[in-house]
Amino acid sequence: PDSRPWWERGVVYQIYPRSFQDSDGDGVGDLAGIQVRLDHVASLGVDAIWLSPIFPSPMKDFGYDVADYCGIEPMFGDLAAFDRLLAAVHARGLKLILDFVPNHSSDQHPWFAEGRSSRDHPKRDWYIWRDPAPDGGPPNNWISDFGGPAWEWDAASGQYYLHAFLKEQPDLNWRHPELRRAMLDVLRFWMDRGVDGFRIDVLWHIVKSAGFEDNPFNPDWTPDRTERDKVLQHHSTDQPEAHVISAEMRELADEYEDRVLIGEIFLPNERHARWYGTPKRPQVHLPFNFQLIENGWDARTLHRVIADYEASLPEFGWPNWVIGSHDAPRIAARIGEAQARVAAMLLLTLRGTPTLYQGDELGIGQVPIPPERIRDPQHLRQPHLDIGRDRSRTPMPWDNTPFAGFSAVEPWLPLNPDWRTRNVAAQAGDPESMLALYRRLLSLRRTHPALAVGTMALHGAHDSLLVYERAQGGEQFIIILNLTSQATEFEPSQSARHCRVLLSTLPGDPPVGRDVFTLAPNEGVILA
Ligand code: TEU
């Protein structure tokens, strides 16, 4: 048996709690709903669930604005419901990862309300307050990720406070020792309760340069890009002190058994890799790797992305891959449904921990949202840009009963228009479905550790095909992915000549045992 920790062997499944299952008829998902649907998660064959935030929140950013780090949002349930869910998850041999949002709280958090009340309040410096610039304007040129200045004027106390996201999400001051202790206690609280780890929201943001210098302007900015991109986030992100805190979080996690830290970090390879820390002073186990989302989808680009990423990893650093999230456009819409099957094979056979996003296992596309139903604050603030996150946050379609079995009432966001045929029940009974493919891939990974934790050797770059081998303990697999919609010949090496197709992404009779090396359009195969 492999002695690797579960987060290296396993697969993570992201649940967006508002949109998984509603159990109490308010049109919004909840914890009891998730518990009812654990069969789906278990039968998929994943190992861990990551829940987007479930804490009390005014929901200005749908839970990423936390008003109490140690409670449960009433819309989702309560601590008792959480404990029941955690026990049910563990009873199935699954792990539960929570979303920790350390960069900012809600402006409704009592800490902020207290600090806001007066300049001399002991909690004032738990957030980032600055005097105006000499002209009365904001202290510097930093821009919020959701557009507009990152500073909000507080007339009552005559200062600005910093918010990297919405003004309802004031940034916490991690340089303050008491705030730091209070936030680390939050991690302790949930680990004592039994959670298996955390996905840490915008970890690279948590400390700002002490000098609050202006950020440099981005010479490549054009009006079709988000306002945030106008300046490079040079002084507002990736500060050395943030790495110190990340190491402290790890030290704390390591006081417990088998807990994982996954950091949400957007940086070029070399700086990204530093978030692993060093063997002596480790930081997060998995700095999230979004490169399959951020880059073009063709054989040469993927080859370069994989090779460069692998080359950038420290020797002890374990890779990870993501193709979808609650922030990104749906993979099936971005590259087409046929290629999305190839993407599933890529994600589940690359070296590194995969994270699946709910609904991608059904091949759901970008769901059209009528203008009056748009909820995403990022979209509402920059309506001229094509950045609506609601379109990938829509409710899970479970079956073809009213509201797709998600809820007894009209859900908070519309369902995918094809929910009557594209739902879990329909796909579970269809061997050609995306769901069936995901289940097969996940079960192969489980039976053959080489596919999960084996070594990986990339073949040379090719215009149409991406080819790599995975091996461990005498087992060897060749993965060949056709990134194009043309049939493409694969020139087998001597060793590959005797291989047989173990699994194809093609719908229809999986051509098991086939020994031809012509890949059909949009076909991926695993050879053994
Ligand atoms: O996202 C961080 C982040 O970088 C986003 O601004 C991302 O670039 C954008 O959503 C892409 O369209 C995290 C959470 O995942 C996101 O949902 C939150 O809104 C954000 O942090 C603030 O907490």
CATH assignment at residue 154: 3.90.400.10
pLDDT band at 499 (very low <50, low <70, confident <90, very high): confident
Question: Does 73 map to a domain?
Answer: yes
Of the residues 401, 416, 441, which one is the last residue of a structural domain? 441
Residue 25's Cβ-count burial label (10 Å; 0-12, 13-18, 19+) is exposed
**Do residues 168 and 106 touch, judged by C-beta distance below 8 A?**
yes
Average pLDDT value for residue range 226-231: 93
Q: Judge whether 73 counts as a catalytic residue.
A: no
Q: Is the pLDDT of residue 67 over 60?
A: yes
Write out pLDDT tens, residues 324-335. Answer: 999 999 999 999
What's the pLDDT at 213? 98
pLDDT in tens, 73-84: 999 999 999 999
CB atoms near residue 268 (< 10 Å)? 9
What share of the chain has pLDDT > 70, as a percent?
98
H helices of 108-176, where?
110-117
Query: How far, in Å, is the centroid of ligand 1 from the Cα of 327?
Result: 6
Flag whether pLDDT at 207 surpasses 80: yes
- Looking at the domain assignment, is residue 1 inside a domain? no
Q: Are residues 329 and 375 in the same domain?
A: yes
pLDDT attached to residue 13? 99
Contact between residue 242 and residue 210 where contact means Cβ atoms under 8 Å apart: no
Judged against a pLDDT cut of 80, whether residue 218 lies above it is answered with yes
pLDDT tens column, 154-203: 999 999 999 999 999 999 999 999 999 999 999 999 999 999 999 999 99
Which run of H or E residues covers position 455?
strand 455-458
376 lines ligand 1 (CB under 6 A): no
DSSP structure class, residue 429:
T
**Atom of ligand 1 at shortest distance to CA of 61?**
19
Looking at the fold, whether 380 and 462 belong to one and the same domain comes out as no
Q: Is the Cβ–Cβ distance between 268 and 234 less than 8 Å?
A: no
Most informative mutation of 18, 57, 62, 64 for ligand 1 (most atoms within 8 A of CB):
64
Give residue 143's pLDDT: 97
Domain region containing 79: 6-103+177-441
Does residue 61 line the site of ligand 1, with CB under 6 A? yes
Task: Determine whether 155 is exposed, middle or buried from the number of CB atoms within 10 Å of its CB (0-12, 13-18, 19+).
Answer: exposed
145 lines ligand 1 (CB under 6 A): yes
User: What residue has token string 């971005």?
Assistant: 334
Is residue 421 over pLDDT 70?
Answer: yes
Rounded Cα gap, residues 59 and 57, in angstroms: 5
* Residues 348-371 pLDDT 10s: 999 999 999 999 999 999 999 999
Residues in the chain: 528
Query: Is 427 found in the same domain as 328?
Result: yes
Protein residue with least CA distance to atom 15, ligand 1: 327
- Cα–Cα distance for residue pair 512/503, rounded to 1 Å: 6
Neighbouring CB atoms inside 10 A of 322's CB total 22
**Strand stretches in 185-253, DSSP E:** 197-200
Q: Kind of pairing, strands 197-200 and 465-472?
A: unpaired
What pLDDT does 512 receive? 53
The reply to whether 495 falls in a domain is yes
Identified catalytic residue from 120, 192, 224, 255:
255
Residue 511 vs residue 53, higher pLDDT: 53
Q: How far is the CA of 61 from the centre of ligand 1 (A)?
A: 9
Bridge partners for 356 per DSSP: 13
CATH number of the domain to which 418 belongs = 3.20.20.80
Residues 370 and 278 in one domain: yes
- With a 6 Å cutoff on the Cβ, whether 385 touches ligand 1 is no
Q: Which atom of ligand 1 is nearest to the CA of 327?
A: 10
Same domain as 213, residue 127:
no
Residue 430 is assigned to a structural domain of this protein: yes
Please tell me whether residues 333 and 202 are part of one structural domain: yes
Catalytic annotation, pick one of 61, 99, 201, 361: 201
Return the percentage of the chain with pLDDT > 90, whole number: 93
Indicate the pLDDT class of residue 93, thresholds 50, 70 and 90.
very high
Q: Are residues 288 and 359 in the same domain?
A: yes
Q: Are 78 and 241 in contact (CB under 8 A)?
A: no
What ligand 1 atom has the least distance to the C-alpha of 389? 12
Give the angle 298-341-9 at the CA atoms, nearest 5°: 95
Told to judge if 257 belongs to the known catalytic residues of this protein, a careful annotator would answer no
The chain-wide mean pLDDT, for the chain, equals 96
262, 364: one domain? yes
Residue 446 falls inside a structural domain: no
Residues 183 and 63 in one domain: yes
Tell me how far the alpha carbon of residue 492 lies from the centroid of ligand 1, in angstroms. 43
Question: b/e for 170-204, b at 16 or more Cβ within 10 A?
Answer: bbbbbbbeebbeebbebbeebbeeebbbbbbbbbb
Report CA torsion sign: 52, 56, 61, 62.
positive
pLDDT of 513 above 80: no
Residues 228 and 271: beta-carbon distance below 8 Å: no
Confirm or reject: Cβ of 267 under 6 Å from ligand 1. Answer: no
pLDDT at residue number 496 = 74
- Assess if residue 386 is contained within a domain: yes
Instruction: Verify whether ligand 1 is closer than 6 Å to residue 64 (CB atom).
Output: yes
- Domains contained in the chain, number: 3
Is the CB–ligand 1 distance for residue 201 below 6 Å?
Answer: yes
CA dist., res. 380 & res. 374, Å (int): 7
* C-alpha to C-alpha distances, 106 to 68, 87, 159, 452, nearest whole angstrom: 9, 29, 18, 39
The answer, yes or no, to whether any atom of ligand 1 lies below 6 A from the CB of 229, is no
Ligand 1 center from residue 413 Cα (angstroms): 19
Q: How far is the CA of 136 from the centre of ligand 1 (A)?
A: 30
Residue 81 lies in a domain: yes
Q: Per-residue pLDDT for 1 more than 60?
A: no
Asked if 415 and 319 sit in the same domain, the reply is yes
Q: Which pLDDT belongs to residue 351?
A: 98
Nearest CA to ligand 1 atom 20: 64
> Which numbered atom of ligand 1 lies nearest the CA of 325?
15
Compute the distance from residue 145 Cα to the ligand 1 centre, in Å: 8
Phi-psi region of 111 (alpha: psi -120 to 50; beta: other; left: phi over 0): alpha
Please state, in angstroms and rounded to a whole number, the distance separating the CA atoms of residues 301 and 511. Answer: 28
Q: Are 48 and 12 in contact (CB under 8 A)?
A: yes
Phi, psi of 39 (to 5 degrees): -55, -40
Q: What is 475-502 written as a DSSP string?
A: EEEEEEEE-SSS-EE----TGGGG--EE
Q: Both 427 and 462 in a single domain?
A: no
Number of the ligand 1 atom closest to the C-alpha atom of 145: 6
Distance 194 CA to ligand 1 centre (A): 27
* 380-420: pLDDT as tens digits: 998 888 889 999 999 999 999 999 999 999 999 999 999 99
pLDDT band at residue 33 under the 50/70/90 scheme: very high
| Stretch (H or E) spanning 86 | helix 79-91
Distance 322 CA to ligand 1 centre (A): 15
Higher pLDDT: 2 or 236? It is: 236
* 312 and 461 co-located in one domain: no
| Residue 96 CA, distance from chain mean position | 14
447 in any annotated domain: no
pLDDT at 515 over 70: no
Q: Is 49 helix (H, G, I), strand (E, B) or coil?
A: strand
Does residue 310 register a pLDDT over 70?
yes
Rounded Cα distance, 164 and 242, in Å: 15
Which residue's CA lies nearest to atom 23 of ligand 1?
64
Tell me the CATH number at 490. Answer: 2.60.40.1180
